[in-house]
Amino acid sequence: MSNALKNVWGTTHTGYQRSRNEDRYLIKPLQDSQAILLGVADGMGGEAGGDISAQIVVDTLQKYQNPSGAIEQDLTDILDRAGKEIRLRSEKDIKLYGMGTTATVVLVSNGTAYWSHVGDSRLYLSRKGELKQITIDHTFVQDLIEDGTLSQYDADRHPLRNMLDQCVGYIDMIPDSGRFPVHPGDRMLLCSDGLTRQISGDKIKSTLEIGNAREASEKLASLTLEAGGKDNVTAVVLIC
């Protein structure tokens, strides 16, 4: 991963219909290693303190220094600590009651990507032109897809498609986590749902393959804005 820092870029935009940007992202090289830590957090839209809760996730991630022997657990523990801080802040300030955020976190080290995830921000992997969604959305409609009640087509149009059933700050949160091998030329995308609600998987696939990380990240954001920019949008791209 010696070229990681030359090949990673994050882009965020408020969009055209929101008054503030509640998305946050992190790109952090880890001290004394070739590892890099990436994160995207999307504060719950329309909820009190969405931007504050997303910033708490990023601030908690920022404190992580060096990978241990249990990186998946490290990342899950970070989200747990962020959740506790969000709940503590909301208990102290009634105006922040109910705040929460999504979080998708990836640490790439020694040829492996470790990840942890809550909500409907996403992690994608593009390898040799094939795009794979690594994370699964924690939403009401995703549950209906998995039990066969809804097709993906109907879910994409469901009026409750944005309703989360887990977020960082929710007391019963159970983050998903995993790992996968990283190959030279792999491209990863971490993004908020402001992107995935506006542009298709095919468009994400083709755009992620263009140019360098900065070009791909900025193009994904601009395509989202061209499609209406209904929400905040964030795209972090890493080329391995």
Cβ neighbours around 43 below 10 Å, total: 31
Residues with Cβ < 8 Å from 202, sequence gap 6 or more?
A: none
Q: Quick one: pLDDT at residue 143?
A: 66
Q: Quick one: pLDDT at residue 104?
A: 98
Give the model confidence (pLDDT) of 120-139 as tens digits. Answer: 999 999 999 899 999 999 88
CA angle 170, 175, 178 (to 5 degrees): 170
Instruction: Give phi and psi for 217, each to the nearest 5.
Output: -60, -50
Nearest to 136 by CA among 123, 149, 150: 123
Percent over 90 (pLDDT), the chain:
71
Half-sphere exposure of 92 (CA within 13 A, CB side): 7
Tokens representing residue 227 in the block: 């499609």
Instruction: Give phi and psi for 24, each to the nearest 5.
Output: -140, 150
Contact criterion met (CB below 8 Å) for 4 and 108 = yes
Strand arrangement of the beta sheet that strand 176-181 belongs to:
23-29, 36-42, 103-109, 112-118, 176-181
Tokens representing residue 194 in the block: 């402001």
Give the model confidence (pLDDT) of 97-127 as tens digits. Answer: 889 999 999 999 989 999 999 999 999 999 9
Euclidean distance between CA atoms 181 and 20, whole angstroms: 37
Percent over 70 (pLDDT), the chain:
86
Q: Quick one: pLDDT at residue 156?
A: 65
In angstroms and rounded to an integer, the radius of gyration of the C-alpha atoms of the chain is 17
Euclidean distance between CA atoms 127 and 118, whole angstroms: 24
Contact criterion met (CB below 8 Å) for 165 and 102 = no
Residues with Cβ < 8 Å from 14, sequence gap 6 or more?
A: 20, 21, 232
Nearest to 21 by CA among 51, 41, 59, 54: 51
Euclidean distance between CA atoms 63 and 85, whole angstroms: 14
Residue range 181-193: mean pLDDT, rounded? 96
* Domains of the chain, earliest start first: 4-239 (3.60.40.10)
Q: Quick one: pLDDT at residue 193?
A: 94
Question: Rounded mean pLDDT of the chain?
Answer: 89
Q: Is 142 helix (H, G, I), strand (E, B) or coil?
A: helix
Q: Name the more confident of 129 and 142.
A: 129
Q: Quick one: pLDDT at residue 155?
A: 58
Q: Is 109 helix (H, G, I), strand (E, B) or coil?
A: strand
